[in-house]
């Protein structure tokens, strides 16, 4: 047998072996995964893995994704592929406890009716009545149902958190109970005759729509374990027994959100009639507990930020004018923590005469800022704010301090009780007394209560007799997000904010831009011709009316026919432009597939043949 035949046989066997290995790997190693993405986008966090491994009851996830209809929207189609791949990772990690159903609803099909019945948001696709769907429905064995109506690409960063949160809530369907301790009339207020004079704050109504909410009053001496998360709003002059109850609740693992304020504008406390010279207290603080938690809060200081201040109407001798009122702040995304789920999706928060927080030096707890001013800010004395009449005075006094002022922060870590002797002013021992926290506490402290008042974030409209809230800021969203994060277990809280997955197809975008330019040029030409023809028709009609005619003249009919023919021709050209665009994109995709699938094996084969020929020539030269 000649060496040439042997070489050809060897090459053929190599190809057969290559195909056999690929078939074997695809058939036996499909569960193996190697995440080569830059930010490990398909690797589940440790917290997610723990929650999936602990599932006791089966969960069904129905993923509705109109893959074909979204073919012309690469952003949504690529994101949908990533969501599907991520869900498959959840299924594999759940040890059979998650059943994934992937459905592609066709227009006017039973699957589309099913998607609509689950509350998924339809995405209109043209004027023919077709809709695309891109959502998820989760159910458990007790018929609890949670829906993500539509996966928004701008929230891709929190994809893993949203999916894990759904699974966790289905696995733990117990209703959460939110306890509220407040010195402000957040639940509404009754007059002397018992009739309501004010309704509940909008944030309370929103909480009631999500959870069970209980008013604990301000004299509570014990917080029941069934309270999931505690809200303390404006803790003014709280008794030691109430502070002790809060202290023990948190040390025993309870989650809390505390709102203090150097100047609560919603506090309508009237002066003491027996001593009109003494100003009523409208600030709140919790120094006994804050010291143990590693927080420093000065109720005599108010945060001011000239760049973020809200502009108000002020009067001077020359009349009204608009001026920055420095104590009122309008904070945007640059003032929010991007790595915390409480704040990383917020766009705008309004605050009124807010204070600021600082970590205590050498504190054992971790102080994580959530909301903060810019470095062009300064603290003001509370009394200077209370008695100022002209906002321009505050502007004149403004001197940037060069550092951010933290308005809201997350506090974590192990802490000791503020009452080492046990229950204060009581001879009875508390059998459940805890000296220090066994696990890290997790609380959120906010140095403003006006953030929750209606006027700073919501307006109401009357719709068919109903009072409908129209939010204009994310104040309530911050509250709900924080309670959501606090209420999850430590694995859910630990989830990191995933990196954005966006790798644009630059060549495809160039083709689209080029086609759009052509499309717009032709469209403008059509509109110009339409306008010209309409003017011509109007002119002919005017001439006809002057002559007393009522029917269209031959010239008018001819003009309309010419326009209709031109319109048909232009529409055809527009379709050709779109066809050429799709064809260019398809050709580009085919080339990329060839480069990735076919070219590399061909190059490897040519390299092998080249090496074989080189070795053969080398041996021949030696002989």
Residue-wise pLDDT for 123-146, tens only, equals 988 767 789 999 999 999 988 999
Whole-model pTM: value is: 0.65
What is the distance of C-alpha 313 from the center of its chain?
34
249 or 339, greater pLDDT: 249
Out of 11-20, 185-194, 335-344, 565-574, give the one with best mean pLDDT.
335-344
Instruction: Give residue 167's pLDDT.
Output: 94
CA dist., res. 268 & res. 117, Å (int): 47
CA dist., res. 100 & res. 95, Å (int): 12
pLDDT at 215 over 70: yes
**Which residues on neighbouring strands pair with residue 124, listed in sequence order?**
131
CA dist., res. 18 & res. 326, Å (int): 71
CA dist., res. 284 & res. 372, Å (int): 20
Structure tokens at 128: 């023919």
CA dist., res. 370 & res. 330, Å (int): 15
Structure tokens at 144: 């609890």
Asked whether the beta carbons of 335 and 374 are under 8 A apart, the reply is yes
The neighbour count for residue 576, using CB atoms within 10 Å, is 12
Instruction: Give residue 26's pLDDT.
Output: 54
Q: Is the dihedral of CA 471, 477, 478, 483 positive or negative?
A: positive
pLDDT at 245 over 90: yes
Residue 450 per-residue DSSP state: G
164-195 pLDDT tens trace? 989 998 998 878 899 999 999 999 988 777 77
The neighbour count for residue 11, using CB atoms within 10 Å, is 14
pLDDT at 254 over 90: yes
Instruction: Give residue 270's pLDDT.
Output: 79
Lowest mean pLDDT of 95-104, 203-212, 214-223, 507-516, name the range.
507-516
In angstroms, the Cα distances linking 241 to 218, 229, 244, 418 are 10, 19, 5, 12
E strand map for 395-486:
406-413, 441-446, 458-463, 466-471
Structure tokens at 248: 């023990």
Structure tokens at 336: 């929010």
Lowest mean pLDDT of 22-36, 186-200, 519-533, name the range.
22-36
pLDDT at 506 over 60: no
What residue has token string 């509705």?
Answer: 64
Structure tokens at 404: 């951010």
Residue 17 — pLDDT band, cuts 50, 70, 90?
A: confident
Asked whether the beta carbons of 301 and 380 are under 8 A apart, the reply is yes
Asked whether the beta carbons of 182 and 234 are under 8 A apart, the reply is yes
Q: Which of 473, 478, 183, 483 is nearest to 329 (CA)?
A: 473
Entry field: residues in the chain: 623
Domain boundaries, the chain: 1-32, 46-170, 178-271+280-298+354-372+403-493, 507-544+555-622
Q: Which of 83, 99, 100, 97 is nearest to 49 (CA)?
A: 97
pLDDT at 592 over 80: no
Q: Which helix (H) or strand (E) holds 619?
A: helix 600-622
β-pair type (134-139, 145-148): antiparallel
Rg (the chain; Cα; Å)? 34
Instruction: Give residue 502's pLDDT.
Output: 45
Structure tokens at 282: 């409208």
CA dist., res. 213 & res. 580, Å (int): 59
Helix residue ranges per DSSP H, 488-599: 490-493, 506-546, 554-593
Q: What is the mean pLDDT of residues 539-547?
A: 58
Q: What is the mean pLDDT of residues 85-103?
A: 94
**Which residues on neighbouring strands pair with residue 132, listed in sequence order?**
123
Out of 43-52, 248-257, 381-390, 549-558, give the one with best mean pLDDT.
248-257
Backbone phi, then psi, for 563, in 5-degree steps?
Answer: -65, -45
High-pLDDT (> 90) share of the chain, %: 47
CA dist., res. 332 & res. 307, Å (int): 11
The CATH architecture one would assign to domain 46-170 is 3-Layer(aba) Sandwich (3.40)
Residue 556 — pLDDT band, cuts 50, 70, 90?
A: low
Q: Which helix (H) or strand (E) holds 323?
A: strand 319-331
What is the distance of C-alpha 515 from the center of its chain?
34
Structure tokens at 310: 């809200």
- DSSP for 16-46 reads HHHHHHHHHHHHH-TT-----STT-TTSPPH
Asked whether the beta carbons of 375 and 297 are under 8 A apart, the reply is no
Residue 448 — pLDDT band, cuts 50, 70, 90?
A: very high
Residue 499 — pLDDT band, cuts 50, 70, 90?
A: very low
């Amino acid at each position: 047998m000649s060496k040439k035949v042997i070489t050809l046989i060897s090459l053929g066997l190599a190809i057969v072996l290559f195909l056999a290995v690929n078939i074997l790997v695809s058939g036996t190693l499909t569960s193996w995964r190697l995440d080569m993405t830059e930010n490990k986008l398909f690797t589940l966090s440790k917290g997610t893995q723990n929650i999936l491994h602990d599932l006791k009851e089966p969960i069904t996830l129905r993923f509705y994704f109109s893959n074909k209809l979204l073919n012309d929207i690469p952003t949504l189609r690529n994101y949908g592929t990533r969501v599907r791949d991520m869900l498959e990772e959840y299924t594999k990690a759940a040890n059979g406890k998650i059943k994934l159903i992937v459905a592609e609803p066709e227009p006017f099909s039973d699957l589309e009716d099913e998607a609509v019945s689950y509350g998924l948001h339809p995405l209109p696709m043209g004027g023919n009545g077709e809709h695309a769907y891109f959502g998820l429905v989760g159910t458990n064995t007790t018929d609890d149902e949670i829906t993500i109506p539509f996966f928004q690409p701008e929230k891709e960063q929190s994809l893993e958190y949203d999916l894990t949160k759904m699974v966790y809530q289905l696995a733990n369907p117990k209703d959460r109970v939110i306890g509220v301790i407040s010195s402000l009339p957040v639940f509404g207020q009754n007059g002397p005759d018992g009739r309501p004079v004010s309704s509940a704050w909008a944030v309370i109504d929103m909480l009631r729509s999500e959870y069970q909410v209980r008013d604990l009053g301000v004299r509570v001496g014990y917080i029941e374990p069934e309270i999931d998360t505690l809200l303390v709003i404006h803790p003014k002059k709280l008794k030691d027994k109430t502070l002790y109850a809060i202290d023990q609740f948190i040390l025993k693992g309870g989650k809390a959100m505390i709102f203090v304020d150097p100047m609560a504008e919603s506090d309508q406390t009237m002066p003491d009639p027996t001593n009109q010279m003494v100003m009523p207290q409208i600030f709140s603080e919790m120094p006994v507990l804050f010291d143990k938690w590693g927080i420093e809060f000065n109720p005599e200081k108010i945060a001011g930020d000239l760049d973020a201040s809200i502009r108000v109407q002020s009067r001077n001798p020359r009349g009204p004018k608009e001026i920055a009122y420095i104590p009122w702040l309008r904070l945007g995304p640059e003032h929010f923590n991007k790595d915390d789920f409480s704040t990383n999706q917020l766009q705008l928060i309004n605050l009124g005469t807010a204070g600021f927080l600082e970590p205590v030096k050498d504190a054992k707890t971790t102080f994580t800022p959530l909301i903060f001013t810019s470095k062009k800010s300064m603290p003001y004395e509370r009394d200077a704010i209370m008695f100022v009449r002209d906002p321009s005075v505050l502007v004149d006094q403004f001197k940037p301090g060069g550092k951010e002022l933290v308005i809201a922060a997350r506090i974590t870590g192990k802490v000791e009780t503020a009452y080492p002797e046990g229950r204060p002013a009581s001879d009875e021992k508390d059998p459940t007394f805890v000296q220090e926290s066994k696990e890290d506490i997790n609380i959120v402290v906010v140095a403003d209560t006006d953030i929750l008042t209606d006027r700073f974030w919501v307006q109401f409209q009357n719709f068919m007799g109903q009072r409908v809230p129209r939010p204009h800021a994310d104040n309530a969203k911050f509250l709900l997000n924080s309670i959501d994060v606090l209420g999850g277990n430590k694995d859910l809280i630990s989830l990191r904010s995933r990196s954005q997955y966006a790798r644009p197809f630059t060549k495809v975008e160039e083709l689209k831009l080029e086609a759009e330019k052509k499309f717009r040029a032709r469209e403008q030409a059509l509109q110009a011709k339409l306008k010209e023809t309409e003017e011509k028709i109007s002119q002919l009609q005017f001439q006809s009316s002057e002559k007393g005619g009522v029917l269209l003249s031959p010239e008018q009919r001819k003009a309309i026919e010419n326009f209709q023919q031109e319109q048909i021709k232009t529409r055809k050209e527009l379709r050709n432009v779109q066809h050429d665009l799709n064809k260019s994109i398809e050709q580009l995709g085919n080339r990329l597939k060839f480069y990735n699938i076919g070219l590399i094996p061909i190059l490897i084969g040519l390299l092998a043949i080249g090496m074989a020929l080189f070795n053969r020539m080398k041996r021949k030269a030696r002989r």
